[in-house]
Amino acid sequence: MPDIRRFQPGDWPAVWSILEPVFRAGDTYAVDMEVSEEAARKLWVTSPTATFVFRDQGEILGTYYIKPNHAGPGSHVCNCGYVVPPGARGRGIATAMCKHSQEEAVRLEFRAMQYNLVASTNRGAVRLWEKLGFEKVGTLPGAFRHPHEGYVDAFVMFKQLQK
């Protein structure tokens, strides 16, 4: 039975094995493609408010983090990042993690969720976020430097979670 639980220190090798190829590909995350493992751990585990893993039969098949998008007057809006390895895609893992993150966001008293830089070429993610109620509230022309497609648009996507 699949479950989503908080990250535990022993999860890092599995989480890094999921993050590293995605970050190195450079086609979905605005992360240095040469990011060190230490810097990636800080980005994904140390800095966020919380990090979670999706497990099925004890195997970690996805991960996400949640954190305030901004400090001070913007701290009621959270930001999340999700990664599912290519071999586990199409099984509803990202959907489950996004739904879980929205519940967690409300529990943490965030009022909205914002994705700051969704590459327009990441069509699967854009479709999924829209299906789950996120709206494109802005287009940033040429804001994402895709390693194969060059400068592509990026979307700011937003969802109100509570009034």
DSSP H stretches of helix in 26-163: 37-41, 93-107, 123-131
Round to whole Å and give the CA distance between 84 and 59: 12
Nearest alpha-carbon partner for 68 in 113, 28, 129, 30 = 113
Domain of residue 101, CATH code: 3.40.630.30
- Asked if 15 contacts 7 with a C-beta cutoff of 8 angstroms, the reply is yes
pLDDT at site 108: 97
Round to whole Å and give the CA distance between 128 and 83: 13
Pairing of strands 150-160, 112-119: antiparallel
Would you write out the chain's pLDDT as a tens digit for each of its 163 residues?
789 999 999 999 999 999 999 999 999 999 999 999 999 999 999 999 999 999 999 999 999 999 999 999 999 999 999 999 989 999 999 999 999 999 999 999 999 999 999 999 999 999 999 999 999 999 999 999 999 999 999 999 999 998 7
pLDDT at site 154: 98
pLDDT at site 36: 98
Q: Which residues contact 45 (CB under 8 A, 6 or more apart)?
A: 7, 12, 15, 51, 65
The pTM score is 0.95
Number of domains in the chain: 1
Round to whole Å and give the CA distance between 105 and 113: 8
pLDDT at site 162: 81
Pairing of strands 77-83, 112-119: parallel
| Other C-beta atoms lying within 10 Å of the C-beta of residue 46 | 10
* Token output for 153: 């648009």
For residue 104, what are the domain limits?
Answer: 3-160
